[in-house]
Structure 1
C-alpha cells in the first residue's frame, strides 16, 4: 500500500475467559483462557488518488469483503515480500508480521491547507504470524 504513515493494533488479541468456578467456591471465580478475539488493525496513510493500491482499497477490495493475506514489514530491513506460485512469501532479511484480514472500513479526510489523509481499518481473522530478522 502506498504511503502508510503508521500502524496500530497489530497485537495478539484478547483471549476470552471461560468460567470454571465450582458451585462450592466461596471467594473468587476461576477462569481458563479461551479462544483469542482478533482485533482491528488501523493504517493511517497519505491519500494519493493516482496510486493503484489506494484505488483498490476504496473500491474492489473493500466491496469484495474478501479475507486477504497482509504482510507488514518493519524498518530493520528493506526486502519486499515475493509471490511464489500465487502465494505471498515474506522477506527473511527484515522483521515482518503476517495477518489474514478483510477491509472493514476506509475513511478519507480532507481539510483546508492540509494534505488529504485516510485510514484503512482491517479486521483480523486469526492470529498474527511473526518472522523476526536474524540477529547480526
Structure 2
C-alpha cells in the first residue's frame, strides 16, 4: 500500500507528459513560423505595390536592383519558412509514433535542451557533430 504523501508515477503518465511537452514545443514553433510567413507575405506585397511606382528599367534605375534583391531575399526566406513547417509536420509525426527525441542515427536520446532550442531536431548533438 502506498503512503498518501508519495506520488505514484506510472511510466505511461511520464510518456504522456513528455508528449505533451513535445507537442507544446512544436506548436509554439509552428505559431512563430506561421507568423513569419504572414509577415514575409506582407513585406512581399509591399514591395510589389511600391515597385508599381518605379520604372521597369532595372539596368538604369538605381533602385531596381535593390527591389529585385529584396524580392529574392523574401522569396528565399518564405521557402525556408515553408520547409520549417514541413519539418514541424515531421516532428508531430514522430511525437505520435513515440520516436520524438530519439536520434535517427544512433537511437539515443536527444538532449532536452537541444529539443527546446530546436524542436525539429532529428539527431543528437554527437551524431550531428560527427556528420560535419
TM range (shorter): under 0.3
TM-score w.r.t. the length of structure 2 is 0.27
Larger Cα Rg: Structure 1 or Structure 2? Answer: 2
Q: Which has a greater percent of helix?
A: 2
TM-score w.r.t. the length of structure 1 is 0.26
Q: Which has a greater percent of strand?
A: 1
